[in-house]
Structure 1
Amino acid sequence: MIRLDDILVQIGEFGPYQKRVFAIICMIVFTASWQSMIVVFLAASVDHWCAVPQWNDFDCSAAGLNEQTCMLAMKNASIPVNYTSDHQLVFEQCMKYNVSGEAFDPEIDPFHNPGWPTSQVMECDSGWVYDRSQYKSSIITDYDLVCGAGDQTQVSQSVFYAGYLAGSIINGVLADIVGRWWMLMILMFVRLISGIAIAFSPNWWIFTVLRFFQGYAAISIYIIAFIVGTEFVGPSKRNVTGIIFVIPFALGYICLAGIAYFVPYWRTLELICVSPALIYIGLMFFLPESVRWQISVGKYDKAEKTLVKIANSNNMPLSGPFFSSDFKKEQEAAPKERRATGIDLFRQPRMRLRTINLIFTWMVNAMVYHGLSLNTSNLGVNDYVAFAVSGAVEIPAYLLSVVAIEMKFIGRRISLSVCLLVAGVACLSTSAIPPGAALTSVAMIGKFGISASFAILYLYTAELYPTNIRSVTMGTCSMFSRIAGIMAPLILTLAKIWTPLPLVIYGSVSVIAGLLTLSLPETLGHKLPETIEESENFGRKSDANNTTSGKNGVYILNQDGRDEKEIKEENGGVNTMDYVNPSFNIQDENDHGKRDSGVQANLSEK
């Protein structure tokens, strides 16, 4: 049986051809975070207060005041003030004195002027004045998303994540039909067109609808880019490229803070952040179609041409054609296998509990990751610095997680649990810390923990399920994580009830998930399950007859009371590699239940 990984070893695992493809993919991934995280700057909180239009004609220069001083004098004369719990004086943002018919005088002091209507307070009825010292424009200022409309900023981000959900489901099916290359090209145009349209959106409703389509394209571009970037890499190099793949994502995350700092106008910032799509569309003509997809749909001639091109570019000799006519006939005649569904994850009792546990953990990871990322402008320090640090901590988090999961005394389960607990405790600790550098530092520890746990969770989930249901498992967990992503911005709106409440919620669910993961079996040093039955028994301890875990988790006793391992040992057939899984790699055969091409797939997503 032909395996694509065997072919890649023959034609070069990571030669010049793969390096060019991987470099292009890394360029695409570099801006992958911009679509989701740009909202931190598009919808940044700005100070605001009620406008008093009848005072707009006052000649500030004649009174010897500059524009800024005059604006503050009008604010002092028309806006009530209150003391916060920490005894700081703050102006009301949604109320004003009823100064109708009152003339403005820079010398007015509401508290010492007995004739001033300080007892007559009303809601803003003529719009707002915004502090534009940091953000010259934002969707907050352009669409008046303040006071009663303040929650709409988080609603639009939830709609963006709804686009994530739709894109994950729909585009996965379409990519199987039209191919990875064409799907990626189409999504690049969707990204470009929706981004340009957003920059010219006249109101919040159109902005929100367009954000849905932007999210629809963004997640699928990332997933398909990962698939194309890693599947051409040979098995011995795939671990390294899988790690390197997340580095440009984090670097782009950091870079966005610098761009936003120098571009304080949200419409211009949006156009700048979507413009790389023009470059990517040009680079698409240097990317090949997925060989695995070509083989899975029976396009062996095209797959052969791509593989020959790789071999020639890598200067590797070929012994002959990869796909013989007999092989093609066999694949055409091979019966299609039943495709696994999400229901199969809940048929067996142990697998059912394991699946529910993992779904909850995936939801927690997505909710907390996106929630912490979107909350960086509310930590009480410079928005740009907090955002850049939030992206920077992901790099060591990814690298440390890869090292930790391969340590025999730690493994996957403990690593995942510790990371979730670190994130949870850090988020819970923020409830007792005032805004500022200390709060930011603790929140970044939480971001470090949740980023590391996300990296571990992909691998760990895939290892707990057999090949024939692994893709369904990842897809199901990913779908629920998208639903949780939709919830993350809405939870941030609870800050108006109690400022630390969103982080307390994130911390609480992280601690619960961290404890629940301890009930999952360890996979490091164990042979991965190959059937649903093996997965059901995976991790079960020795029974009364001293059967031991092995290739399938549990050995079945034969009629003479001996298990399969004993029989193998007698026949000299035991290979220690049958019971060890030291690899970071997860490979699926017959990923979609189609032709038995023997091609392996390594799929992942952010």
Structure 2
Amino acid sequence: MQFEKILDEVGGFGLYQKVMCFSMIPFTTGLCGMVYYVQLIVLSVPDFRCAFPKTSTLSIPNAHTLSTTNSSTNAATVSSVYTGMSYNMSTGNDTEIFFHSTCHYPAEGADGAEIPCTDWVFDDVNMLPTLSTENLWVCENAWRPYTIMTMFWVGNVVGALSMGLVSDRFGRRPALLVCCLLYGTAGVASAFVSNFYAFLVLRMLVGSVHHTLPHLSFVIVLEFCSSSRRVVPLFVVTMIYTVASMLATVLAYSIWGWRTLVVITAAPALAIVFIYHWIPESASWQLTQGKIEEATTKLHHIASVNGKNLSRENISKIIAKATNNVELVSNKKDSEINNQHDDSSYTNTKLLSVLLTYPILRRRIIIVMIIWMLGCMCYYGHAQNTANMGKHLLLNYFLGAAAEIPSWATPFLIERFGRKPPLFAVFLLSGVAGIVYCGLVGVVNVSAVGLIGRLAVSAVYCITLQYGPEVFPTVVRGQGVAMAETLAGIAILLSPAIGYLEEYYNGLPLLVFGLLGCIAAGLTLLLPETKGISLPNTPEEAENITPSN
């Protein structure tokens, strides 16, 4: 189906598409950026120390900057036997040494004996009180925040696949409604529970639609845009996610309360109830499903908004002309449209069927899956490395998000040079940066090298988001993106395990991510170029994208 020709007639990037692009994408992507960063903040554990018994013989300078979990704890003093280990007597500076995240303190009068801490003092000057500090999730309970984050991504793996099936079977619009309602309801509810397991289940539900929500709205907008303007939605996604992530840290600093922060960032998702009427269904998807009347009505409305003087009859003729050489599913009342194949050719098309039937497309889809997976793994791996820039956690999060601002240029680069060459270049750059970082860490200051790697993988993520959906045909695009997101979720689950290699050698995690980046760069060369090519609607069209492109 030459849907691109239909868009040329009704307007491929007129007022209608601009309104969609600058309203739907900021709504969903902005939500997800804030919710995810708020979750990181809520589960963060600032520097801490044992809350020692009130047997101190030495006052601690700047004691007003310290706080305790329980009011009964004396934050201004520490046990005298422990003071010599934590307090710098020569400089009088306890700021850097005092909060050293210990789980035991020496027993007075016992050589080498230690007593387990039962209460802790947290540095709440540089970080607001969080769920983790409120529930003392440190030391023997330090696994709890990690488990919540892990189950969040487990939910993402399960939800991405199921929502992809819903998207291709029932449409992009209903799937978006389900995602928003679940995202908002579970997100708000998690602010009102204190039980670990209840919070875990609710965040798992939030995670089940976390990636699907912004990607679904992106796909809706993408399917309405002509090939020459498909990078505009990508630019909006890139920009909004960065701004939303930075805004989350600003809100955290301003509100200084994790429950309120969770509510005000999750609740806007429920606004879908009021705006659902104005969210369009993908006309391209409607045509591939035989919903000719609905697609004609939608395209006529688009033409009207874009200032195109086309009657409904003209739209019908344009659709008939664009689809007369394609396997288009038609309802019986639309049987006047010329079809060369059976009416049910593409209804309920399954991704597995496409993979088994079309060998060239199968190879490309598998490569896209691997690249998507490696891109996400490397992105989150580099992000973990930039999180340890100092003691001020909110500032770390803010700077980590701000480091992605240069990646806003990515859409313009892929519009100028295509998708494949820039993706190869940034994958390779991230790989080389990771390898160099590993080789030089401990010898010279390699912060700049790490930052270059972070910028490169940010660009990788942006290009993959654009490149992947352009390879999938419309009839399985939702399932394809969902499967890619499922693999990405699995990769993200593995990312913290790779990050744990830092316990053995500081540069080892980035060495692994660097090598993976180089492998992904090589795989990129096996994909076709999709710049300037109409989005394929059928497997045949996707199969016939020439390798030389």
The TM-score normalised by the length of structure 1 is 0.71
The answer (yes or no) to whether the contact 1:372–1:443 under 8 Å persists in 2 is yes
Residue 48 in structure 1 maps to residue 48 in structure 2: yes
- What is the CA distance between 1:399 and its match in structure 2? 1.7
Partner SS state of residue 218, structure 1:
coil
Structure 1 residues 236-385: aligned runs within 5 Å: 236-319=228-311, 320=313, 321-322=315-316, 325-328=334-337, 330=339, 333-336=342-345, 339-341=350-352, 344=355, 360-380=370-390, 382-385=392-395
1:421 matched residue in structure 2: 431
- What is the CA distance between 1:16 and its match in structure 2? 2.1
Residue 207 in structure 1 maps to residue 199 in structure 2: yes
Q: Which is worse superposed, 34-43 or 336-345?
A: 336-345
Aligned mates of 1:176, 1:462 — CA distance in 2: 13
After superposition, the Cα gap between the structure-2 partners of 1:239 and 1:479, relative to the gap in structure 1 and judged at 3 Å, is same
Aligned mates of 1:26, 1:465 — CA distance in 2: 21
What is the one-letter code of the residue matched to 1:31? L
1:94-133: CA deviations, max 9, x gaps?
A: 112447xxxxxxxxxxxxxxxx557542112x33232322
Aligned mates of 2:16, 2:213 — CA distance in 1: 21
The answer (yes or no) to whether the contact 1:82–1:92 under 8 Å persists in 2 is no
The TM-score normalised by the length of structure 2 is 0.78
Aligned mates of 1:187, 1:475 — CA distance in 2: 13
Q: Which is worse superposed, 514-523 or 289-298?
A: 514-523
After superposition, the Cα gap between the structure-2 partners of 1:271 and 1:472, relative to the gap in structure 1 and judged at 3 Å, is closer
Query: Whose radius of gyration is greater, 1 or 2?
Result: 1
The answer (yes or no) to whether the contact 1:419–1:449 under 8 Å persists in 2 is yes
The correspondence for 1:121, drawn from 90, 114, 120, is 114
Structure 1 residues 102-121: aligned runs within 5 Å: 120-121=113-114
Identity across matched positions, percent: 21
Structure 1 residues 177-192: aligned runs within 5 Å: 177-192=169-184
After superposition, the Cα gap between the structure-2 partners of 1:291 and 1:269, relative to the gap in structure 1 and judged at 3 Å, is same
Partner SS state of residue 122, structure 1:
strand
After superposition, the Cα gap between the structure-2 partners of 1:160 and 1:327, relative to the gap in structure 1 and judged at 3 Å, is farther
After superposition, the Cα gap between the structure-2 partners of 1:95 and 1:413, relative to the gap in structure 1 and judged at 3 Å, is closer
1:267-289: CA deviations, max 9, x gaps?
A: 12111211322444433332122
Aligned mates of 1:66, 1:386 — CA distance in 2: 24
Aligned mates of 1:4, 1:348 — CA distance in 2: 24
Residue 77 in structure 1 maps to residue 80 in structure 2: yes
- What is the CA distance between 1:444 and its match in structure 2? 2.3
1:396-417: CA deviations, max 9, x gaps?
A: 2252475268549x92564144
What is the one-letter code of the residue matched to 1:341? L
Aligned mates of 2:392, 2:101 — CA distance in 1: 23
After superposition, the Cα gap between the structure-2 partners of 1:72 and 1:357, relative to the gap in structure 1 and judged at 3 Å, is same
After superposition, the Cα gap between the structure-2 partners of 1:215 and 1:19, relative to the gap in structure 1 and judged at 3 Å, is same
Aligned mates of 1:467, 1:187 — CA distance in 2: 20
Residue 387 in structure 1 maps to residue 397 in structure 2: yes
The answer (yes or no) to whether the contact 2:379–2:454 under 8 Å persists in 1 is yes
What is the one-letter code of the residue matched to 1:96? Y
1:449-474: CA deviations, max 9, x gaps?
A: 11122233456667888999988765
Residue 449 in structure 1 maps to residue 456 in structure 2: yes
The answer (yes or no) to whether the contact 2:471–2:536 under 8 Å persists in 1 is no
1:167 matched residue in structure 2: 159
What is the one-letter code of the residue matched to 1:394? E
- What is the CA distance between 1:326 and its match in structure 2? 4.1
- What is the CA distance between 1:219 and its match in structure 2? 1.3
Gaps of at least 5 residues in structure 1 are 100-115, 529-580, 601-606
- What is the CA distance between 1:439 and its match in structure 2? 5.9
Q: Which is worse superposed, 368-377 or 289-298?
A: 368-377
1:587 matched residue in structure 2: 535
- What is the CA distance between 1:264 and its match in structure 2? 2.5
1:562 matched residue in structure 2: none
What is the one-letter code of the residue matched to 2:435? V
After superposition, the Cα gap between the structure-2 partners of 1:358 and 1:295, relative to the gap in structure 1 and judged at 3 Å, is closer
The answer (yes or no) to whether the contact 2:382–2:454 under 8 Å persists in 1 is yes
1:518 matched residue in structure 2: 522
1:55-103: CA deviations, max 9, x gaps?
A: 79x9x9xxxx96959945433437476589xx9856562112447xxxx
Q: Which is worse superposed, 458-467 or 439-448?
A: 458-467
1:375-428: CA deviations, max 9, x gaps?
A: 5442225333332332233232252475268549x9256414433324423652
1:147 matched residue in structure 2: 139
Partner SS state of residue 217, structure 1:
coil
After superposition, the Cα gap between the structure-2 partners of 1:163 and 1:379, relative to the gap in structure 1 and judged at 3 Å, is same
- What is the CA distance between 1:343 and its match in structure 2? 9.3
After superposition, the Cα gap between the structure-2 partners of 1:129 and 1:339, relative to the gap in structure 1 and judged at 3 Å, is closer
Aligned mates of 2:15, 2:431 — CA distance in 1: 42
Structure 1 residues 558-597: aligned runs within 5 Å: 583=531, 587-590=535-538
Q: Provide the aligned length of Structure 1 versus Structure 2.
A: 506
2:492 matched residue in structure 1: 485
Partner SS state of residue 115, structure 2:
strand
Aligned mates of 1:303, 1:192 — CA distance in 2: 30
Gaps of at least 5 residues in structure 2 are 68-72, 91-95, 321-333, 544-549
What is the one-letter code of the residue matched to 1:94? C
The answer (yes or no) to whether the contact 2:227–2:534 under 8 Å persists in 1 is no
After superposition, the Cα gap between the structure-2 partners of 1:426 and 1:141, relative to the gap in structure 1 and judged at 3 Å, is farther
- What is the CA distance between 1:351 and its match in structure 2? 7.8
Aligned mates of 1:205, 1:309 — CA distance in 2: 48
Q: Which is worse superposed, 477-486 or 211-220?
A: 477-486
After superposition, the Cα gap between the structure-2 partners of 1:350 and 1:276, relative to the gap in structure 1 and judged at 3 Å, is closer
The answer (yes or no) to whether the contact 1:11–1:311 under 8 Å persists in 2 is yes
Aligned mates of 1:19, 1:357 — CA distance in 2: 32
The answer (yes or no) to whether the contact 2:470–2:536 under 8 Å persists in 1 is no
Q: CA RMSD in A?
A: 4.1
